[in-house]
């Protein structure tokens, strides 16, 4: 089947694009490699999305998916391994399962992936003490001591969530103050089981096949902290490498596209956190999704 629009990425940008494209009468397939809803499903509570006083990220992601499917969008859980554009303009997407899909237009909405600390054994211990999602993995550490590394809103929110489940939470940040919202900092200051470890960096991961602790350098001195889990929350990197031939990338790897969400390749559009922009929020991802979908529809009409 030749779809009107293929969408790679099932987060808020991709699912919003699917809803808009379907309402315009276009056939749509959304391909997602991990979980529909994207990174927002990691958030325990969302309070800054219009129309919701408070909603969990999982519920919001489920609603976005339900809405797109109710409009008639098709979805596929698979990992895209290659993308090609034919002489006739048809975009061919091959997946890890062996499935191949074709579309007249393509929207890239792959978001960004968590950044790692870049220390020895970090990748080997992912899933065995090193984590990136407090919502996903926090329950495994109930009653145990854990650490969170980071100073932005994501790190602060992770620490708050973990403080409700864990015996002790060490919040490690390389500066002497946090970048995140002051209200979150104040909430953490009221938690008796949260300790701020400022002017500090994680230098070593302890343990064998599972994490048993971390070494931290704080104000020039070394310190060992026994923890069962380390939650890394230091930002994200765009997942655009596969599409470098289709769109220009900036130095950080983000798609160098403007607010019109168009790329250098006719019929290829980009939306969400993988696009170069000054603000990355749920609302801007959804806005990108609508803009990219409508731009794709105009391309198909041309």
Q: Are 159 and 171 in contact (CB under 8 A)?
A: yes
Strand order in the sheet with 168-172: 130-131, 229-232, 145-149, 168-172, 194-197
What residues does 215 pair with on adjacent strands? 204, 224
What residues does 5 pair with on adjacent strands? 28, 105
| Alpha helix stretches (DSSP H) within 71-142 | 134-137
Buried b or exposed e, range 132-164, using 16+ CB within 10 angstroms? bbbbebbeebeeebbbbbbbbebbbbbbbbbbe
In Å, the largest CA–CA distance within the chain is 64
Reply yes or no on whether 166 is catalytic.
Answer: no
Reply yes or no on whether 250 is catalytic.
Answer: no
Measured CA to CA, the distance from residue 130 to residue 122 in angstroms comes to 7
Q: Considering only CA atoms, which of 40, 41, 21 is closest in space to residue 30?
A: 21
DSSP per residue, 220-272: TEEEEE--SEEEE-S-EEE--GGGTTTS-B-TTS-B---TT-B-SSTTEEE-S
Q: Which of 136, 176, 250, 260 is catalytic?
A: 136
Buried b or exposed e, range 75-114, using 16+ CB within 10 angstroms? bbebebeebebeeeeebebebeeeeebbbbbbbbbbbbeb
Q: How many CB atoms lie within 10 A of CB 179?
A: 12
Q: Which of 95, 131, 137, 297 is catalytic?
A: 137
Reply yes or no on whether 297 is catalytic.
Answer: no
Q: Which of 62, 78, 133, 256 is catalytic?
A: 133
Measured CA to CA, the distance from residue 154 to residue 172 in angstroms comes to 13
**What are the residue numbers of the active site?**
133, 136-137
């Amino acid at each position: 089947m030749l779809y009107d629009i293929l969408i790679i990425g099932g987060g808020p940008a991709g699912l919003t694009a699917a809803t808009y494209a379907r309402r315009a009468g276009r056939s749509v397939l959304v391909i997602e490699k991990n979980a529909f809803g994207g990174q927002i499903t990691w958030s325990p509570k969302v309070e800054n999305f219009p129309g919701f006083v408070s909603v969990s990220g999982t519920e919001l992601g489920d609603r976005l998916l339900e809405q797109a499917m109710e409009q008639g969008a098709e979805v596929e859980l698979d990992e895209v391994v290659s993308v090609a554009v034919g002489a006739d303009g048809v975009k061919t997407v091959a997946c890890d399962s062996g499935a191949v899909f074709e579309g007249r237009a393509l929207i890239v909405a792959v978001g960004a992936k968590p950044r790692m600390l870049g220390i020895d054994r970090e990748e080997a211990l992912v899933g065995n003490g090193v984590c990136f999602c407090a919502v996903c993995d926090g329950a495994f550490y109930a009653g145990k001591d854990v650490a969170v590394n980071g100073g932005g809103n994501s790190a602060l929110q992770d620490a708050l969530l973990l403080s409700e489940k864990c015996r002790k939470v060490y919040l490690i940040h390389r500066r002497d103050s946090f970048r995140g919202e002051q209200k979150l900092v104040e909430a953490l200051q009221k938690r008796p089981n949260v300790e701020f470890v400022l002017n500090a960096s994680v230098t070593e991961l302890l343990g064998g096949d599972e994490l048993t602790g971390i070494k931290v350098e704080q104000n020039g001195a070394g310190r060992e902290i026994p923890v069962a889990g380390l939650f890394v929350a230091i930002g994200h990197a765009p997942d655009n490498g596969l599409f470098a031939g289709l769109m220009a990338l900036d130095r950080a790897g983000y798609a160098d596209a403007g607010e019109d969400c168009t790329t250098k390749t006719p019929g290829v559009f980009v939306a969400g956190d993988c696009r170069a922009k000054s603000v990355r929020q749920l609302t801007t991802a959804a806005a990108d999704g609508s803009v990219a979908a409508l731009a794709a529809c105009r391309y198909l009409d041309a």
